[in-house]
Amino acid sequence: MTPWPTLPDLPPGMSATPDRAHGQDFTKPFVHDDGQARSLHFTKGELQSRMNRHSPWQLEVDYTLTMMGFLLLQPAPASIAMVGLGGGSLAKFCYRQLPECRMTVLENNPHVIALRRDFCVPDDDARFQVMEGDGAAFMASPAAGFDVLLIDGFDHEGQPAALCSQPFYDDCFAALNPGGVLAVNLHYDDSNYPVWAERILRSFGGNAVEVPAPEKSNCIIFASRGAPISPRRIRLHASLARLDGEARAQLKPEFARIVWTMKDLDET
Residue among 25, 152, 155, 244 flagged as catalytic = 152
Catalytic, 266? Answer no
The answer to which of 26-30, 173-177, 243-247 has the lowest mean pLDDT is 26-30
Distance in angstroms (rounded) separating the CA atoms of residues 211 and 205 = 18
Q: What is the pLDDT of residue 66?
A: 97
- What does the DSSP 8-state code read for residue 232? G
Q: Is the pLDDT of residue 97 over 90?
A: yes
pLDDT at 5 over 70: no
CA distances to 13, 19, 25, 161, 236 from 16, rounded to whole Å, are 10, 9, 12, 21, 42
**Per-domain residue ranges for the chain?**
58-267
**In angstroms, rounded to a whole number, what is the distance separating the alpha carbons of residues 112 and 84?**
9
Task: Give the fold, CATH level 3, of 58-267.
Answer: Rossmann fold (3.40.50)
**Predicted TM-score of the model (pTM):** 0.87
Average pLDDT, the chain: 86
Cβ-Cβ contacts under 8 Å for 54 (sequence gap 6 or more): 36
Mean pLDDT of 151-161: 79
The 10s digit of each residue's pLDDT in 102-153 is 999 999 999 999 999 999 899 999 999 999 999 999 999 877 899 999 999 8
**What is the C-alpha separation between 123 and 260, in angstroms, rounded?**
37
